[in-house]
Amino acid sequence: MNSIPLDEREQRQVQDITSRLLNYQTHLMNEATIWARGIYPLLVLAERENIQAWAEVSLKARYTKFELDGVADGVLGKSATGCLESPYLVVVEAKNGVEAENPLFQLYGQLLAAAHLNWESEGHDPQEIFGCYTIADSWTFIRGEVEAIESELPTLRVEYSREYVEKLEAETILRILKGVVSKYLLLNIF
């Protein structure tokens, strides 16, 4: 993903975003503040054409043996007429502190829901879907593949990235986000 270029405007905006985080102890900030200062602005910078950033997105899906119903903290997805049609990258913001829960289970459910929604509109099986979870200003990305969507036991395979700290690696995070967007723009050309 390091081959994805950032233009001067994007580099300046990334510097502005990181400067809003640099002098703060992000692990002590509440989730809404981190979301507003650091996470959502990077999602917006990755937007291109009809792929937009969304916040607080309801994701529902009905598989053969189970249903999923939840709210993703953020999504990069295909938008038309002011509505989200296909979620391509799902973002889960984990809680900080001792009451924090493992964000993976929530993210897995949302990846399954997003894959099912995309399958309903596109019909491809397997479905490739991307996600990430954030803890404070740290991002971990996941690439998922969901297959046998119509079966009683669909399969979700996942690959993880390393953890990226936004204060130090915001440009790399933006390149990853832009890479996901570029991938789906190429798929939707035809």
Q: What is the pLDDT of residue 143?
A: 96
Q: What is the pLDDT of residue 179?
A: 93
Average pLDDT of the segment spanning 111-115: 94
Average pLDDT of the segment spanning 109-133: 92
Q: How many domains does the chain have?
A: 1
Q: Minimum mean pLDDT among 11-25, 107-121, 162-176: which range? A: 11-25
Would 58 be classed as within a structural domain?
yes
Would 2 be classed as within a structural domain?
no
Residue 159, burial from CB neighbour count under 10 angstroms (0-12, 13-18, 19+):
exposed
3-class DSSP state of 110: helix
Q: Quick check: 73 pLDDT over 70?
A: yes
For residue 182, the enclosing domain spans 8-187
CATH of the domain at 12: 3.90.1570
pTM for this one?
A: 0.89
Q: What is the pLDDT of residue 190?
A: 37
Share of the chain above pLDDT 90, in %: 61
Strand partners, 89: 76, 130
Q: Quick check: 14 pLDDT over 50?
A: yes
